[in-house]
Amino acid sequence: MTSYLIGLVGSGIGPSASPALHEREADELGLRYVYRLLDLDVLRRPVGDVVAAARLAGFDGLNVTHPAKQLVLEHLDELSSEAEALGAVNTVVFERGRAIGHNTDATGFARSLGRGLPDVRMDDVVLLGAGGAGAAVAHALLSLGAGRLTIHDVDRARGENLAEALNERFGEGRAEAGDLAAVENADGLVHATPTGMAAHPGSPVAAELLRPDLWVADIVYRPLETALLAAARARGCRVLNGGGMVVLQAAESFRLFTGVEPDPARMLRHFDALEGEAARAA
């Protein structure tokens, strides 16, 4: 039986659904697949040390999450064209002694948005967060035809740098750094920061800024119903939770790790079952 050893690198990743999501799909495909959490808060080591140790230990690959999607870049030997364009990595494949970085977040978000909110207007979209996940979401939105993207980040310079990179790739004037006031005239709002996660409760947007003709997407998936989505739903907005993105990016990561095509629809069913189990255990 072909076997794989995979890890997830990030901070506060104890609640992650990734181990069970990957392992259940591997079971369906007849693969031996062990998925381990490599929590930076627990290990108390920098991301470079963790990547080096995983390589020496014989891991076949790593998923990378907050806050390491950009920090990991300098510790890799090669980047895929997508990862290089995004300036962020969420998947590392160890291949013939080399660590190769990929990014499956952009396609995961694009497919989730197309699946969950297929007909929304995107003339003017606001993105909260310019980190690794935010960069992937930004590229996905502009690739899907968003007319103008306003990026708000607590680090204004980071938002400006992302906007500059996006304009170089997609054309001048497609992206700009801005503030939350842009939500008032936007068609859609996408949230791509850790706010709303179990370890970072709360909403990044005041409920008063939300209105029924605004659609709202959140990439946080634990919990699925974040404070932002609950407020948006109460205000009459169409909403999209982070479940679809986490599953669809995981499916592409699984393919990169194994060379075997997973079944995304089945993985979505795995996720629904896992969420039900988590709710019953709470």
CA torsion 229→273→261→107, rounded to 10°?
0
| CA of residue 226 relative to chain centroid, distance | 15
pTM of the model: 0.93
The 10s digit of each residue's pLDDT in 189-212 is: 999 999 988 778 899 999 999 999
Residue 42 clears pLDDT 70, i.e. is over it: yes
Concerning whether 181 is annotated as a catalytic residue, the answer is: no
- Give the per-residue pLDDT at 92: 98
The 10s digit of each residue's pLDDT in 114-153 is: 999 999 999 999 999 999 999 999 999 999 999 999 999 9
**Residues for the chain: how many in total?**
282
Residue 55 clears pLDDT 60, i.e. is over it: yes
DSSP 78: E
Are 238 and 212 in contact by the 8 Å Cβ rule? The answer is no
* Coil, strand or helix at 35: strand
The 10s digit of each residue's pLDDT in 266-280 is: 999 999 999 887 656
Are 100 and 77 in contact by the 8 Å Cβ rule? The answer is yes
CA torsion 21→23→26→30, rounded to 10°?
-140
CA dist., res. 195 & res. 223, Å (int): 11
Task: Kindly write down the DSSP assignment for every residue of 176-223, as one continuous string.
Answer: EE--GGGGGG-SEEEE-SSTTSTTS-S-SS-GGG--TT-EEEE---SS
Bond before 67 cis per omega within 30 degrees: yes
84: which residues sit within 8 A by CB, 6+ positions away? none
The 10s digit of each residue's pLDDT in 241-256 is: 999 999 999 999 999 9
Bond before 212 cis per omega within 30 degrees: no
- Give the per-residue pLDDT at 198: 77
Candidate list 69, 102, 139, 222, residue with the active-site label: 69
